[in-house]
Chains A and B, each alone.
Chain A
Amino acid sequence: MKIQESLALAEEEVNYLSPGKHQGIWVFLKTWALTVDHKRIGIMYFIAVIISFFVGGSFALLIRLELLSPAQILYTAAQYNAVFSAHGIIMIFLFIVPSIPATIGNFVLPLHIGAKDVAFPRLNLASLYLYLIGGGIASVAMILGRVDTGWTFYLPYAITSETAVLFVGVGLFIAGFSSILTGLNFMVTIHKLRAPGMTWMKMPLMVWALYSTSIIQVLATPVIAITLLLLLAEKLLGVGIFSADLGGDPVLFEHFFWFYSHPVVYVMILPAMGIMSELITTFSQRNIFGYKFVAFSSLAIALISFLVWGHHLFVSGQSAYVNILFSFLTFLVGIPSAVKLFNWTATLYKGSIRWRSPFLWAFAFMVFFAIGGLTGIILGLLPLDIHLHDTYYIVAHFHYTMVGGTVVAFIGGIHFWWPKMFGKLYSEFMAHIAFWIFFVGFNLSFLPQFVAGSKGMPRRYYTYLEEFTIYHQLSTFGSWLIALSIIMMFSYFVASLMNGEKAPMNPWGGKTLEWTAVKSPPDEHNFERVPVITHGPYNYESEEENLAKQNRQKNRGAS
């Protein structure tokens, strides 16, 4: 018996998931908790952000449940306000911001550039712990106590609020360092650890996207850290920077807050765009159309993103000319986004397109992001924004970009890299069904909100005029479909882990290094030997090239 067991162990493949596997729970936990392997850290981030997603998502369902009826049905005003605040804070700070860079980014970045690990593996682990500690403090504060300020913490409301703003502030301050350090780590990794031959123009576009993201993380996150610190100082010591009572200016807080929080929406969307470039090239078996345009548009977005925060203050009373300037700059950021969309579409041209589950999500991204982007043009227009500001139109717009963009790309990325992460395949059939339920549910949830908003329905209302009932009910029904789809995904991914079919090294026919030179799941040190790069990331062959090659071989055989 013993011999058989050890024989089975010996036969079992060794990969990055193996260490500590058969040595009891404590050794197992210890090897994970003290690992410096970027892949394991990515997986731990993955588990943590998924928990955040489920908690934040449950709050979303609770919001929608209350809004089934125009009158109060489930909670008091204070409870509702705590619920929507928790939804926003958890989803933004603890889920979307770390979702793609910290999970998929950590797992894929070193594989993409042919490196053994990130530049500072221990710093990487420290970042994870900072995220867990900060996120833990904020979550416990929100669930045991409550916070009713919304995720924006506008003053003077946040000062007068007697809820747990202090602890949530401290938690987010700590979690912010995780973001800064991850960005720093990725930048150094991309600069210093690329495999021989991998020039900047030969990097996969995901790497360009992560690089641009890192710039924003490193430059913008300290601003929110300082702002939160000032908020705490104001609350505890009454220093009089923001408080009107003490001669401060509450609008100054809005400027500080959005100076971080606008760029950070690009921390969310840029890595999503990186995933898109990978999905579209792989599933159309095509080299990307216009590599340089796609790569540099990421950098352009990162830079312009710092200049547009003022469009969140169009109705705050700032001067008309400042408003016009910010409106102008806001339009500029739309251009590189449009260029990306055109390039992805052109990449499909003459491809060989596989309608597989990751590609479905790429398709959904393009549809949702087009809607989010075009409504963004409307919101950039001053007279239109003044009407739509703080209504459900805004709510719909940012859900189309944040959920329809980032979350959809994240789900697509998980479907794409799942076989590489865990070495298992999942049910393609179930994945298609879950996708279509999501697609319908998402549109049902958020399309009616565009109409409700432009009809005048303000956001953050727990009771509302009866005439808006139908729009809210449609949204709530949609939210149930989204929940159903997420539960389905969760179950087929768990089923895949338990008894999924073993994944081959390259299930999708990808051309980047993680598919061509790394096992599924990868070895602890990723590559057997250091890869040497001689060509671009997406060197798919065309029919013509293939024919020419076959002809050459035939001729050789004939001669």
Chain B
Amino acid sequence: MDAQSLTETGTFFFPKAVNEYAREHDFLHYMITWGGVFIFVAVVGVMLYFIIRYRYHPDTNPIAKKQVIHNLKLEITWTIVPTVIVMAIFLWGAKDYLEGNVAKQGALEYQVIGQKWSWVFFYKEGFKTASELTIPVSKPVRLLMTSKDVIHSFYVPNIRLKRDVVPNRYTVLSFQIDEVGTYQVFCTEYCGDEHSSMWAKINVVDDASYDVFVATAVEQVNIPPVELGEKLYRSYGCNACHTLDGGELVGPSWQGLLGKKREFTDGSSLVADEDYIYTSMLTPWNQIVSGYNNVMPSFAYLSDKELSGLIEYIKTIK
């Protein structure tokens, strides 16, 4: 399912708000924005008034009428007033922020791994999904996130939250979504070539559907290898670099790969077989096909079953 549109739903500035925190966020933003517009119009208005009112004219206004150089009261006023305003705004923002940061009791936990250029979600039932996280509606969830390579950032515009995903440490994102639907996830920390397509979706479903989803996912562990491979090809972003029809992307096409002669940048060559595909997924940097760059990350975190699923799938692409 496609994610809900960000520009066609919601208000002028924001995509649809799907929880209380997002609504409070929007209220705060609009308050400050309108306040800002008011101050802007006032200051620029006064400025324009002065510019027109006191414009140079050889007869009526050849030199300045008056040299006002100082007015301590006025200056102290326009130092103190902005100070008070920004401090009030600061306190409001800090309060909202802290409230949004309080971890909810009994939240459902998911592990998230970011890697060039896909997101993988691990469920406590023991299965995982790529590029799509399914959660129940109106239940607090807690994402425990880490990266396998460089820094990424997990951003869900509909709930106004993002958090960096950093190698070698865990970061946490806590939220709950109160409306059923599919929501867009972006990576917002620049992470290389396919940064722009490092997307995911959050499916928010009602409790009954969630139970069904978990049950089928657990069952699906028995999916035939070729089908599993085809699914992984799309969900793990293999399709970002490898075509099935001989087309050229960042990496070589998978068309008729098995049995094809491969020439490598170090001068060696071999005929592609299952073992070659297997090692290419685990340590892609060891054998770079001539004419391509060393950009592919390791997929060692896939299970043996998934790896052989991918191999079986590649074998079917003629």
Determine the residue in chain B with the shortest Cβ distance to A467: B7
Q: Which residues of B contact A381 (CB under 8 A)?
A: 28, 32, 89-90, 92-93
B292 CB to closest chain A CB (Å) equals 12
Q: Do the beta carbons of A390 and B14 come within 8 Å of each other?
A: no
A543 CB to closest chain B CB (Å) equals 5
A350's contact among B12, B33, B64, by CB below 8 Å, is which? B64
Residue B212 interfacial (CB < 8 Å)? no
B28's contact among A161, A352, A384, A545, by CB below 8 Å, is which? A384
Central interface residue in A316, A375, A459, by most chain B CB within 10 Å: A316
Supposing A352-B64, A374-B36 touch, asked if A454 and B93 sit within 8 A by C-beta, the answer is: no
Q: Which residues of B contact A29 (CB under 8 A)?
A: none
Residue A458 interfacial (CB < 8 Å)? yes
Residue B213 interfacial (CB < 8 Å)? no
**Interface positions of A from 286 to 323, Cβ below 8 Å from B:** 286-291, 293, 315-317, 320, 323
Determine the residue in chain B with the shortest Cβ distance to A371: B40
Residue A363 interfacial (CB < 8 Å)? yes
Q: Which residues of B contact A339 (CB under 8 A)?
A: 75, 78-79, 82
B294 CB to closest chain A CB (Å) equals 7
Distance between Cα atoms of A338 and B192 in the complex (Å): 39
Distance between Cα atoms of A80 and B13 in the complex (Å): 28
Q: Do the beta carbons of B44 and A367 come within 8 Å of each other?
A: yes
Q: Which residues of A contact B46 (CB under 8 A)?
A: 345
Q: Do the beta carbons of B149 and A458 come within 8 Å of each other?
A: no
Residue A9 interfacial (CB < 8 Å)? no
**CB 8 Å contact bits of B281-293 with A (1 = contact, 0 = none):** 0000000000001
Q: Do the beta carbons of B39 and A462 come within 8 Å of each other?
A: no
Q: Which residues of A contact B294 (CB under 8 A)?
A: 162
**Interface positions of B from 165 to 199, Cβ below 8 Å from A:** 166-169, 171, 184, 186-197
B77 CB to closest chain A CB (Å) equals 9
Q: Which of B47-55, B132-140, B269-277, B306-314 contacts A (4 or more CB under 8 A)?
A: B47-55
Distance between Cα atoms of A510 and B238 in the complex (Å): 66
Residue A460 interfacial (CB < 8 Å)? yes
Q: Do the beta carbons of A467 and B79 come within 8 Å of each other?
A: no
Q: Which residues of A contact B197 (CB under 8 A)?
A: 463
B146 CB to closest chain A CB (Å) equals 10
Q: Which residues of B contact A460 (CB under 8 A)?
A: 190, 195-196
**CB 8 Å contact bits of A324-346 with B (1 = contact, 0 = none):** 10011001101100110111011
Distance between Cα atoms of A244 and B166 in the complex (Å): 9
Q: Which residues of B contact A152 (CB under 8 A)?
A: 190
Q: Do the beta carbons of B169 and A317 come within 8 Å of each other?
A: yes
B179 CB to closest chain A CB (Å) equals 16
**CB 8 Å contact bits of B1-42 with A (1 = contact, 0 = none):** 000011110101111000000001100110011001001100
B174 CB to closest chain A CB (Å) equals 12
Q: Do the beta carbons of B36 and A377 come within 8 Å of each other?
A: yes
Distance between Cα atoms of A375 and B197 in the complex (Å): 28
A295 CB to closest chain B CB (Å) equals 13
Q: Which of B106-114, B122-130, B156-164, B215-223 contacts A (4 or more CB under 8 A)?
A: B156-164
Q: Which residues of B contact A286 (CB under 8 A)?
A: 64, 67
Identify whether the interface residues of A are mostly helix, strand, loop, or mixed.
helix
Supposing A352-B56, A451-B12 touch, asked if A250 and B166 sit within 8 A by C-beta, the answer is: yes
Q: Do the beta carbons of A383 and B93 come within 8 Å of each other?
A: yes
Q: Do the beta carbons of A335 and B86 come within 8 Å of each other?
A: yes
Distance between Cα atoms of A460 and B117 in the complex (Å): 14
Q: Do the beta carbons of A342 and B196 come within 8 Å of each other?
A: no
Q: Which residues of A contact B166 (CB under 8 A)?
A: 244, 250-251, 316-317
**CB 8 Å contact bits of A257-288 with B (1 = contact, 0 = none):** 00000000000000000000000000011111
A229 CB to closest chain B CB (Å) equals 21
Q: Do the beta carbons of B94 and A387 come within 8 Å of each other?
A: no
**CB 8 Å contact bits of B64-88 with A (1 = contact, 0 = none):** 1111111100110011001100110
**Interface positions of A from 373 to 414, Cβ below 8 Å from B:** 374-375, 377-378, 380-384, 386-387, 389-391
Distance between Cα atoms of A390 and B161 in the complex (Å): 12
Identify whether the interface residues of B are mostly helix, strand, loop, or mixed.
mixed
A366's contact among B47, B70, B191, by CB below 8 Å, is which? B47
Residue B296 interfacial (CB < 8 Å)? no
Distance between Cα atoms of A461 and B161 in the complex (Å): 19
Q: Which of B96-104, B201-209, B225-233, B256-264 contacts A (4 or more CB under 8 A)?
A: B96-104
A89 CB to closest chain B CB (Å) equals 14
B51 CB to closest chain A CB (Å) equals 5
Determine the residue in chain A with the shortest Cβ distance to B156: A456
Q: Which residues of A contact B131 (CB under 8 A)?
A: none
A152 CB to closest chain B CB (Å) equals 8
Q: Do the beta carbons of B86 and A377 come within 8 Å of each other?
A: yes
Q: Do the beta carbons of B65 and A542 come within 8 Å of each other?
A: yes
Q: Which residues of A contact B155 (CB under 8 A)?
A: 390, 456, 458
Q: Do the beta carbons of B13 and A455 come within 8 Å of each other?
A: yes
Q: Do the beta carbons of A370 and B164 come within 8 Å of each other?
A: no
Distance between Cα atoms of A342 and B65 in the complex (Å): 20
Residue A81 interfacial (CB < 8 Å)? yes
B51's contact among A334, A343, A346, A353, by CB below 8 Å, is which? A353
Distance between Cα atoms of A451 and B12 in the complex (Å): 8
Q: Do the beta carbons of B163 and A320 come within 8 Å of each other?
A: no
Distance between Cα atoms of A317 and B67 in the complex (Å): 53
Residue B268 interfacial (CB < 8 Å)? no
Determine the residue in chain A with the shortest Cβ distance to B40: A370
Q: Do the beta carbons of B39 and A374 come within 8 Å of each other?
A: yes
Q: Do the beta carbons of A465 and B13 come within 8 Å of each other?
A: no
Q: Which residues of B contact A327 (CB under 8 A)?
A: 90, 93-94, 97
Q: Do the beta carbons of A363 and B98 come within 8 Å of each other?
A: no
Q: Which residues of B contact A290 (CB under 8 A)?
A: 69-71, 75
Distance between Cα atoms of A338 and B13 in the complex (Å): 25
Residue B151 interfacial (CB < 8 Å)? yes
Residue A222 interfacial (CB < 8 Å)? no
Distance between Cα atoms of A455 and B157 in the complex (Å): 7
Q: Which residues of B contact A249 (CB under 8 A)?
A: 168-169
Residue A355 interfacial (CB < 8 Å)? yes
A271 CB to closest chain B CB (Å) equals 22
Residue B302 interfacial (CB < 8 Å)? no
B193's contact among A77, A284, A351, A468, by CB below 8 Å, is which? A77
Determine the residue in chain A with the shortest Cβ distance to B184: A456
Q: Do the beta carbons of A349 and B68 come within 8 Å of each other?
A: yes
Q: Do the beta carbons of B47 and A468 come within 8 Å of each other?
A: no
Q: Do the beta carbons of B50 and A345 come within 8 Å of each other?
A: yes
B30 CB to closest chain A CB (Å) equals 10
Q: List 16 A-B contacts (CB under 8 A).
A: A77-B250, A78-B193, A291-B69, A316-B164, A320-B97, A328-B94, A335-B82, A343-B75, A350-B66, A383-B97, A384-B28, A387-B29, A455-B14, A459-B188, A459-B190, A543-B63
The 7 A-B pairs with the shortest beta carbon distances in the complex, nearest first, are A456-B157, A244-B168, A381-B93, A244-B167, A348-B50, A382-B97, A374-B36
12 new A-B contacts, CB < 8 A, other than A150-B190, A354-B56, A389-B162, are: A148-B193, A285-B63, A338-B82, A352-B56, A353-B51, A363-B47, A375-B36, A383-B25, A455-B14, A463-B197, A467-B5, A468-B7
Interface residues of A (CB under 8 A from B): 76-78, 81, 148, 150, 152, 154-157, 160-162, 244-245, 247, 249-251, 284-291, 293, 315-317, 320, 323-324, 327-328, 331-332, 334-335, 338-339, 341-343, 345-346, 348-355, 363, 366-367, 370-371, 374-375, 377-378, 380-384, 386-387, 389-391, 451, 454-456, 458-465, 467-468, 540-546
